[in-house]
Amino acid sequence: MSLSGKNVLLTGASMGIGEAIAFALVEARANVILFSRSENKLAQLKEKLSATSDVKITYGTVDVGDYASVEAAVSSAIEEMGDIDVLINNAGLALGAPSPFPELKVSDILTMNNTNINGYMFTAHAVLNHSMLRRKAGTILNITSVTSLEVPPFPGEAVYHANKACQEAFTNALRNELSGTDIRVLALRPGCVATNFHSLRVGHDKEMYNSFFEGYEPLVAPDIAQAAVYMLQQPPNLSVKALDIVPSAQRSLNVFDRSWNERRKDQ
């Protein structure tokens, strides 16, 4: 399916994977609606995107954990751009690692639950009811994680792991509930990606951040963006229901080949 001329709503758009997906969408000639909490970053991103293409670009300053804010922004975007063809649920965060669950701040627990669970559900609810269900057509792509399927081998991930497992369950159940429509519901599961996201999850502790990627080459945000566009560009009768994209050295969530870089130095 060509993305040219399609209206794509992207949450968590202002940096990292979201920003990379925005550039990939614009390159594919899609019109983009960018949601994030930072108006300044959104304005800067729109300016950079507009310098590369003449597609339609708009943005909304939105806290995805606030349904009233989400619904108002979705309605405004539809009024400006027309119906939404694709929703990419990307907004998310992890906080508090490596503190185990009993030591986490309750405020961090609430923030993760609200963003990672409510945010996905609220945005999907608004887009379905204001656009996709009326036409019985569209695609919802939820950016989840390989941690949705396996328990992480290090502390500090209890809430984030539970959030991602919930996203996986929501994706699968929603796909079933939308039977009888042409709305596809897909999951993209990244592995280890070198972004601000991983820095934030360890409180921007540089030593912890570097040790996480020791001995192998992690993915970068454009890798995830390419995978997202690949999934969206499949013909309407074909669904890549779920796609795991991980560094080759990430053999599983518990096994990392940290001799990867050493073996490849002369290749």
The secondary structure element, H or E, covering residue 60 is strand 57-61
CA 85 to chain centre: 17
Residues in CB range of 151: below 8 A, 6 or more apart: 161, 253
The whole-angstrom separation of Cα 243 and Cα 184 is 14
Contacts of 177 (CB under 8 A, 6+ apart): none
Q: Are 229 and 3 in contact (CB under 8 A)?
A: yes
- Residue 120 a catalytic site member: no
Note if 164 is an active site residue. Answer: yes
Which conformational region is residue 151 in: left (phi greater than 0), alpha (psi within -120 to 50 degrees), or beta?
Answer: beta
Q: What is the number of other CB atoms lying within 10 angstroms of the CB of residue 173?
A: 11
Q: Give the active site residue among 6, 164, 230, 265.
A: 164
Q: Which of 41, 59, 120, 160 is catalytic?
A: 160
Rounded-to-integer distance, Cα 126 and Cα 106, Å: 28
Residue 51, SS3 per DSSP: coil
Cα gap 193→218, rounded to integer Å? 6
CA dihedral 150, 16, 4, 131 (to 10 degrees): 70
- Among residues 170, 222, 176, the alpha carbon closest in space to that of 195 is found at 222
Residues classed as catalytic: 160, 164
